[in-house]
């Protein structure tokens, strides 16, 4: 693949942006993870805030190159797991050990469930279900919160308008700088992206 830098105005002729359309941002395309990483470090150092890298697979070390902070996700998952353990214990104690009449959506009654002369509070026998619900709650929270924190599902996104961007899920690496970034200036940012030596730079409308 030739490494010609597509002029931004050339790109516009490929995909004309209607007059007066709002600019979402600029994307720059790179061929290899190494090129992207070097470019990402420069973007980070240039002080951009609303920008991102888009890659077909997680690139090792890119989090550092972008200056991303570690996610809080594991702590939430831990909380969900602890909730699972507690819920499982209370469920089993309520239905098999305690004598209670409580309201849980409907009125329900728990009672000591006497079987084979085993003690009403047979904690060792409750452990397998406590373990399973710990895992179940953690896993559900883990996946749900991961997508939630990522703002997904979000079926529409301005980036999907770019035909070029489709290769972000295939074999190309992109940097996108959003127009809402306080440091964003159409001409200057374009110039900046060019200095990173990408394969192409393209404007994406909002």
Partner 1 sequence: MTTLSHDSNVGRITDNTVDRPGERAPLVLNMNTFGEVTATVCRVNEAGKAPFAWYVAFAAALGLLSVLGACITYLIFTGVGVWGLNNPVMWAYDITNFVFWVGIGHAGTLISAILFLFRQKWRTGINRFAEAMTIFAVICAGTFPGIHVGRVWFAYWLFPIPNQMEMWPQFRSPLLWDVFAVSTYFTVSLLFWYTGMVPDLATLRDRAKGKVQQLAYGMFALGWRGSNRHWHRYERAYLLLAALSTPLVLSVHSVVSFDFATSQLPGWHTTIFPPYFVAGAIFSGFAMVVTLAVPAREMFGLKDLITLRHLDNMNKVILVTGCMVGYAYSMEFFIAWYSGAMYEKFAFINRAFGQYWWAYWIMVSCNVITPQLFWFKKIRTSIPIMFVLSLFVNVGMWFERFVIIVTSLANDFLPSSWDKFTPTWVDIGTMVGAFGLFFTLFLLFCRFLPMIAMAEVKAVMPQADPHGAGAGKHGHH
Contact, 126 vs 88, CB < 8 A? yes
Q: Which of 143, 186, 191, 195 lies at the binding interface for partner 1 (CB under 8 A)? A: 143
> Which C-beta is closer to partner 1: that of 19 or that of 170?
170
Residues between 54 and 83 that touch partner 1 (CB under 8 A): 54-63, 65-66, 68, 71, 73-74, 77
CB of 14 to partner 1, least distance (A): 18
Residue 106 engages partner 1 in binding (rule: CB under 8 A): yes
> Which C-beta is closer to partner 1: that of 19 or that of 146?
146
> Which C-beta is closer to partner 1: that of 43 or that of 203?
43
| Binding residues for partner 1, total number by CB under 8 A | 82
Residue 160 engages partner 1 in binding (rule: CB under 8 A): yes
Q: In the chain, which ranges are E strands?
A: 23-30, 51-54, 100-104, 106-110, 173-178, 200-205
Give the residue from 141, 144, 139, 127 showing the smallest Cα distance to 85. 127
Residue 155 engages partner 1 in binding (rule: CB under 8 A): yes
CB of 189 to partner 1, least distance (A): 19
Cβ count near 39 (within 10 Å): 22
Whole-number Å distance between alpha carbons of 140 and 134: 10
Q: Is the dihedral of CA 88, 94, 98, 103 positive or negative?
A: positive
Residue 7 engages partner 1 in binding (rule: CB under 8 A): no
* Cα 174–Cα 40–Cα 68 angle in degrees, nearest 5: 105
CB of 12 to partner 1, least distance (A): 22
Whole-number Å distance between alpha carbons of 45 and 67: 9
Residue 139 engages partner 1 in binding (rule: CB under 8 A): yes
In the block, which residue shows the tokens 């797991």? 81
CB of 138 to partner 1, least distance (A): 5
Residue 28 engages partner 1 in binding (rule: CB under 8 A): no
């Amino acid at each position: 693949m030739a490494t010609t830098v597509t002029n931004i105005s050339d790109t516009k002729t490929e995909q004309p942006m209607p007059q007066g359309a709002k600019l979402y941002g600029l994307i720059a395309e790179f061929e290899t993870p190494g090129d992207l990483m070097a470019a990402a470090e420069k973007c980070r150092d240039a002080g951009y805030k609303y920008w991102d890298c888009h890659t077909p697979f997680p690139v090792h070390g890119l989090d550092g190159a972008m200056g991303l902070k570690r996610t809080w996700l594991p702590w939430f998952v831990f909380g969900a797991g602890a909730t699972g353990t507690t819920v499982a214990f209370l469920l089993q104690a309520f239905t098999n050990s305690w004598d209670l009449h409580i309201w849980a959506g409907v009125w329900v009654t728990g009672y000591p469930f006497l079987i084979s002369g085993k003690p009403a509070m047979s904690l060792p026998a409750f452990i397998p279900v406590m373990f399973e619900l710990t895992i179940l709650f953690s896993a559900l929270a883990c996946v749900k919160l991961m997508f939630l924190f990522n703002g997904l599902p979000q079926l529409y996104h301005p980036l999907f308008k770019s035909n070029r961007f489709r290769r972000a899920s295939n074999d190309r690496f992109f940097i996108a700088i959003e127009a809402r970034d306080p440091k964003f200036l159409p001409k200057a940012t374009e110039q900046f992206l060019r200095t990173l030596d990408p394969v192409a730079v393209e404007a994406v409308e909002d």
